[in-house]
Amino acid sequence: MALYGLILAAVLFTNAVAVLHEERFLAKIGWGVDQSIGGFGEEPGVKTQLVNLIRSVRTVMRGVFIKIIYFIVSI
Amino acid sequence: MEYPDQSGFRQRKLQPRVRMRGTGTDSGEPGQLFDDTSAGQNSGPGGKGPAVYPGQNLLSDPMSNLAMAYGSSLASHGKEMMDKNLDRFIPISKLKYYFAVDTVYVGKKLGLLVFPYMHENWEVRYQQDTPVAPRFDVNAPDLYIPAMAFITYILVAGLALGTQNRFSPEILGMQASSALVWLIIEVLAVLLSLYLVTVNTDLTTIDLVAISGYKYVGMIVGVLVGLLFGRTGYYLSLLWCCASIFVFMIRTLRLKILSEAAAEGVLVRGAKNQLRMYLTMAIAAAQPIFMYWLTFHLIR
């Protein structure tokens, strides 16, 4: 029973990360993707990793996973 | 005490340090995880021997022999297919490594979890790029102790609730699922933070599950002492176990997360090492918090 709550919470968190809009919101804060390219070498840094993570979550969610998520939430 | 030289797995530097455990049931090859106890038929490198056919003496009829041979070939083919498909989702061969323990190892590891202050060498020995199986090295993580400790924790929780007349069979399931969920959350949080800090480490997910599962031992000790001696006993033993788990975590994770120079005690400056040190501290500090959170409601 707690496992189901965990799955639901994970799905909702992932959705929350995925709906952060790139232009309207992230660029205004300074977390847009274009501004952080140029980090060659050994210094990715936490912020670059986070920005890349958000972008990749959005890309993945726009694919097949949307259908899975709708199915889980509708149960 | 000499291993036969035909094994070919040995490296020179392992020879002075590998001690022969007194068990005598080891088949002598350090590359093999488990002893081969199947009754003569060995169907795989891991020694999963299924094949003792009962009643072989009874049937001497050639027709039934044929049928038996056909049936057994069908069964082994089906088993192979199932194993191959299952291996895609759960890496069974890797799981076997974590359960290759023996009594001496378990005893030493439990002692280390409660009293890690005298142990000096925390490095895991390697054997041609793969870590040595836990039964040959005390520092290697295993899944036997965490699994057993988790189940024992649930039983002890049921016992504690029973002495306070708060027991019902559903509570066992609820305790189990909530403890499991906290474990999953902790492992996911550690994985996420390892990804963000871009640590190049060979800690696999199962390693993290094993390391996070070691705190159940301290919890069991705390709850049992609390049952015997009341709240003061519970707080004292929990304090002791929290301190020892903290030290254990730091010493184990330091070698895996920090770079080599920093791990040897030399203070290496730089933002990256600082971040990694904070990460190690945070993981180690989360253990006592979880230990208290999961047990305080059991002691009244």
ipTM: 0.77
Residues of A in contact with B195 (CB under 8 A): 49, 53
Q: What angle do CA B53, B57, B63 make, to 5 degrees?
A: 85
Q: What is the pLDDT of residue B247?
A: 92
- For residue range B4-13, list pLDDT tens digits in order: 444 444 444 4
Q: Which of B300, B183, B295, B180 is nearest to B238 (CA)?
A: B295
Output the six-digit token pair for B164. 């306070």
The whole-model pTM stands at 0.71
- Lowest mean pLDDT, pick from A9-13, A32-36, B80-84, B189-193: A32-36
Phi–psi pair at B131, nearest 5 degrees = -65, 150
Q: Which of B278, B260, B122 is nearest to B197 (CA)?
A: B278
Q: What is the pLDDT of residue B257?
A: 79
Smallest CA–CA distance from A54 into chain B, residue:
B196
Q: How confident is the model at residue B62 (pLDDT cuts 50, 70, 90)?
A: confident
- For residue range B146-176, list pLDDT tens digits in order: 999 999 999 999 999 998 888 888 888 889 9
Low-confidence ranges of chain A (pLDDT < 50): none
Nearest to B184 among A6, A44, A53 (CB): A6
Cα B70 from Cα A45, distance rounded (Å): 61
B100 with B25: CB under 8 angstroms? no
Map out the domains of chain A as residue ranges: 1-30+44-74
Q: What angle do CA B144, B149, B150 make, to 5 degrees?
A: 105
The answer to whether the CB atoms of A49 and B184 lie below 8 A apart is: no
Å between B248 CA and nearest CA of chain A = 27
- For residue range B89-131, list pLDDT tens digits in order: 677 777 888 888 889 999 999 998 988 888 888 888 777 777 7
Q: What is the pLDDT of residue B10?
A: 44
Cα B217 from Cα A58, distance rounded (Å): 40
Q: What is the pLDDT of residue B12?
A: 45
For the segment B204-222, the average pLDDT, to the nearest whole number, is: 90
Cα B181 from Cα B172, distance rounded (Å): 14
Burial group, residue B69, by CB count within 10 angstroms (0-12, 13-18, 19+): exposed
Q: Which of B92, B93, B91, B98 is nearest to B132 (CA)?
A: B98
- Lowest mean pLDDT, pick from A23-32, B49-58, B186-195: B49-58
> Which stretches of B90-214 are DSSP H helices?
92-98, 103-114, 144-163, 169-196, 205-213
Q: Sign (positive/negative) of CA torsion B264, B190, B137, B125?
A: negative
Q: What is the pLDDT of residue B296?
A: 85
Q: What angle do CA A30, B194, A59 make, to 5 degrees?
A: 50
Which DSSP string corresponds to B46-65? T-------TTTTT---HHHH
The b/e string for B158-196 (b: 16+ C-beta within 10 A; e otherwise) is bebbeeeeeeeeeeeeebbbbbebbbbebbeebeebbeb
Quickly count helices (H) and strands (E) in chain A: 4, 0
Å between B85 CA and nearest CA of chain A = 23
Percent over 90 (pLDDT), chain B: 26
Output the six-digit token pair for A14. 């992932």
The answer to whether the CB atoms of B185 and A53 lie below 8 A apart is: no
Cα B38 from Cα B226, distance rounded (Å): 45
| Inter-CA distances, B138 with A9, B98, B106, B235, B248, Å | 38, 12, 9, 29, 13
Å between B271 CA and nearest CA of chain A = 9
Q: How confident is the model at residue B45 (pLDDT cuts 50, 70, 90)?
A: very low
For the segment B209-214, the average pLDDT, to the nearest whole number, is: 91
Q: What is the pLDDT of residue A16?
A: 86
Residues of A in contact with B177 (CB under 8 A): 1-3
Name the residue with tokens 């016992």: B159
